[in-house]
Chains A and B, each alone.
Chain A
Amino acid sequence: MPVTRLSTALRGGIAALALISAAGLAAAQDVADVPRNQTLVLTPWGDQPAQFANIENWNPYLTSITKQRDVMQYTINEMLFYTNLNTGELIPWQGESFEYAPDFMSATIKLRDGVTWADGTPFTSADVKFTLEALRDAPPEINGSASFNEWVASVEAPDPMTAVITFKKPAPRFVRDFLALGHENHYPILPKHVWEGQDIATFTNYDPAAGLPIGTGAYKLVSTATNQQIFDRRDDWWGVTTGFQDTPAPARIILTPVSSDEAMGQLHIANQVDGGRQLLIGTFEAARAQNPNLLSWNPEGPVWGAPDGCMYSIFFNNMVAPWNDVNIRRAINSAMDRTELADIAYEGAMPTATFAFSGYMSGTWLTPDTPLTAKLESYNVDNHSQEDVDAHMAAGGYVRDAEGFWSKDGERIEVLMRTPAFIQPLLAPVTQQLIDAGFDARQGAVDDSWLPDMQLGNFGTMLFVHCGSLSEPLETLQHYHSKWARPIGTAIPNLIAGFRYENPEMDAIIDQMDAMPASTDPDSEYMKDAVAALDIALRDMPVIHLIEEYHVVTFNGTYWTGWPGADDPYAAPYTPWEAFNLVIHNLQQTGN
């Protein structure tokens, strides 16, 4: 009798739970069943909430909607050009070719014939003109509007397959940066016939009855809910009908949220997911032990992953004392044992770094005998040495106080090391190394207060991520330009330049480089400028780079093969980057 009663209560409770839960979910809109082995399941990149928000907003230009980082660029939208960051190779897609005028004041883009929007309307230069000009005129909160406004004067469409962009100033790298590189910034061309007359800041681009969102991509949205977004393959995709590409293998792409490393590891083990969020190295290795089909970029560890273009760095606030003193910055650099940091914080899965030139540069710009390599080596940045710490501190007039901490004029130097949550593993070891070198260092709170504080300059030292060069040195060096600096209390326009560095000498060099195309020729003006700028950056050390961000991007080979890797580097493996669309088109079923 008691047992019956208990189980009745149990059943009643569970049934109630299930009913209430099910009632809260948007029931999928007539979605057909697709077998697991024809479905590609991906998660968004990075730490994300356990539920999607803005599920009925598919405007790719609202900066705060992370979906554009997550899924639109490899389902609904396509790019004019893609870049294989591993080689720098340009892969034409909606576009066929482009050409700059000799003075770099305009660029002519040839479009591919036969590209159509999902509703059958041809994709033409009118769409390109509409989009670029809409972005140029868009309000400030629209993704990229400030940049398009800075560069684009006007766009002409002399014929349906030709678009001519006229610039406001020489723009030798505009097409690459805004229409081809696709590293986190996505600027898809919009269908003019849908977006014309809409307010780009409020239009949600969602109307299932009308077929929205519409793109030229091979997939269409069939269901959107907080726990899942489903995209099904379009049989009438232009790429197949024109013979440009084969039909992509996944019949369905599902995006599902996952909020922790451990949860992602579990999903991989259970074959519930095929890719997306990175894993920590330990989780990857533990998961791989249980599911041998898991793979990453490299076939062996501990550096399993691939570079993501960024460095974990110490940002100094160069506008406040004592961080405006180059001696203390150099001393802190000498206090850092980068190998130990990489080992403790990332189990050796990330390589050490000396400057924010990413691994994608190493094959072209940083081969052993280039001027840049020589300059980097001459500074011997990665050299952990207490003697050097002591020497630099002595040079700055600092002495150790009674308790052995560095101080000046009787005042102890306090180092409050701040960090955003995504670099938290570095916080404790960096702080400890500073303490070991004689600094009175403490860890700051890990929450989102770093954001406004970094913007307004309310910090001294911050562990932050310096995303720099993927394809040429200027991409990093320009962050040292004083046009990014603002007085303390005024927000800076670009977080990556949050170290608030000012140096007219540097500004002049960067301005020159801005107006000329990149060149690896050691005797070119460009290269000379690059070396001079690098020299200043390494001399002044307004920011010091510790570790290059490599993520163990994990793919599941159970149902899908053809993932990019060191042995087949046809695209960088990051889902939030545009070129991930190439991966979708390269996948094949394993037959499992």
Chain B
Amino acid sequence: MSSDLLRYILRRLVQLVLVIFVAVSVNFLIPRLLPGDPVATLIARMQTAGGNQSIDIAAISASYYEKYGLDQPILSQYLNYWGDLFRLDLGVSFANFPEKVTNMILRALPWSVGLLSAATLFSFFVGSWLGARLAWPGAGRVIRTTVPALMVLAAIPFYLLAIILVYIFAVELRWFPPAGGVETTRIMRFEIPTLLDVLHHAVLPFSAIALGNIGFWALGMRSQTVSILGEDYITFAESKGLAPRRVFFWYGIRNAFLPQITALALSLGAVVSGAILVEVIFNYPGLGTLLYTAIRGQDYYVIQGVVLVLIVSLAVMLFVVDLIYPLLDPRIRR
């Protein structure tokens, strides 16, 4: 490995650590700088839950402040926060006291990761392929009409597409369930009917995200493909008499694809933002819904936990992409 590459990786690593450090710190600070007292909220919530009864507020307050170290100076709270993070302890939910935030996130995570990764990867590859086909000479009529339509569709926020999909396919046609992750009476076992049920419920949210993204990737890939079409190596490959399909895949897609990967990494934040709304619309039991509920309930530790998971995973993904990039691009590798 060349020393240049090593330095590149090192620099990216330092940047990753910095990004995580800044994100964690900001994440720690924002809820504490904003008005509102989480313990007061918790107790008030108890009052509503407990209905018509009196509660000794001062005593509860004191006991919770002590229990969660909120009575300590902010600097030691901050250090404790880091210590807890390394133990993967994200605190407890106030709205669902005494549930651990880590547990709540771990239970919601598979739904979101499953839905989002499938929908994102699907639209990324399909979109890129369609974009390349559109730009490549000799694209068929179907490609030339559907792909631009998909591009226009991608301009519309995909949570709005979600509403339209629910109307058409859940309310009018009744093909797919409008909400939830599985049927209410479904007993979760590792077996085919459960799997099919999960898939059946995932179709609409998946489609909303996919439909809203395919066009975006097609657009990007199209520009990339167009810009390499005139390159010497394409002309050279064509003049060598290689089969057009081979030129398309080996010389076209492969080279145009690289910038797409960077774009994918950069756009993940936006995809996650939109997916939160899609999950809320579909009552889907993932991180987005968890975040939404926590925000509505001022459940600080849950908000912090979810946001942290989002930021760190996005930062790590960016880092990984940056690492993979030189391996994929022969120009940089050399």
Contacts and interface: CB of A to CB of B under 8 A. Distances in A.
A492 B40 CA distance: 11
A27 B189 contact: yes
B63 A448 contact: no
Contacts of A494: 47, 52-55
A21 B45 contact: no
B332 to A, nearest CB: 28
Contact of A64 (B49, B59, B187, B198): B49
B182 interface: yes
Interface string B176-218: 0111111111111110001100110010001000000000000
B10 to A, nearest CB: 33
Contact of B99 (A17, A54, A272, A492): A54
Contact of A53 (B35, B96, B182): B96
A452 B99 contact: no
B224 interface: no
A171 interface: no
Interface string B157-190: 0000000000000110000011111111111111
A155 interface: no
Interface string B26-57: 00000000011100111111111111111111
Contact of B63 (A66, A140, A230, A467): A140
Given A24-B107, A64-B96, A272-B185, A266 B126 contact: no
B99 A57 contact: yes
B259 interface: no
Contact of B185 (A6, A19, A39, A143): A39
A175 interface: no
Q: How large is the interface on A (under 10, 10 to 19, 20 to 34, 35 or more residues)?
A: 35 or more
Contacts of B45: 64, 451
A41 B184 contact: yes
Q: How large is the interface on B (under 10, 10 to 19, 20 to 34, 35 or more residues)?
A: 35 or more
B136 interface: no
A146 B35 CA distance: 29
- The residue among A36, A202, A263 with the most chain B CB atoms within 10 A of its own CB is A263
A449 interface: yes
Given A50-B283, A62-B98, A456 B185 contact: no
Given A10-B122, A13-B118, A50-B293, A23 B178 contact: no
Nearest to B140: A2
A454 interface: yes
Contacts of B179: 258, 260, 262-263, 266-267
B50 A259 contact: no
Interface stretch (A209-217, A220-228, A367-375): A220-228
A495 B198 contact: no
Contacts, number: 245
Interface string A444-476: 000111011011100000000001000000010
A90 to B, nearest CB: 20
B285 interface: yes
B149 to A, nearest CB: 17
B49 A266 contact: no
A320 interface: no
Interface in A265-305: 266-267, 270, 272-273
B110 interface: yes
Nearest to B288: A50
Contacts of A147: 53-54
A514 to B, nearest CB: 14
Given A13-B122, A51-B285, A36 B110 contact: no
Contacts of A21: 110-111, 114-115, 181, 198, 202
A263 B53 contact: no
Interface string B280-311: 00011100011001011110000000000000
Ranked nearest first, the 8 interchain pairs of A and B with the lowest CB-CB distance are A24-B110, A53-B96, A451-B44, A17-B118, A64-B97, A20-B114, A452-B40, A263-B179
Interface of B: 35-37, 40-61, 63-64, 93-99, 103-104, 106-111, 113-115, 117-119, 121-122, 125-126, 129, 133, 170-171, 177-190, 194-195, 198-199, 202, 206, 283-285, 289-290, 293, 295-298
Interface of A: 2, 5-6, 9-10, 13-14, 16-28, 31, 33, 36, 39, 41, 49-51, 53-54, 57, 62-66, 69, 139-141, 143-144, 146-147, 150, 183-185, 202, 223, 225-228, 230, 254, 256-260, 262-263, 266-267, 270, 272-273, 421, 447-449, 451-452, 454-456, 467, 475, 484, 491-496
21 contacts: A17-B114, A18-B114, A18-B202, A21-B198, A41-B184, A53-B96, A54-B96, A62-B97, A64-B96, A140-B63, A150-B54, A227-B181, A228-B186, A254-B185, A448-B297, A452-B44, A455-B57, A493-B54, A493-B56, A495-B47, A496-B52
Given A185-B53, A258-B179, 15 more contacts: A6-B126, A16-B117, A17-B199, A21-B111, A22-B195, A26-B188, A50-B290, A66-B96, A143-B50, A184-B51, A448-B298, A452-B40, A475-B52, A492-B57, A493-B57
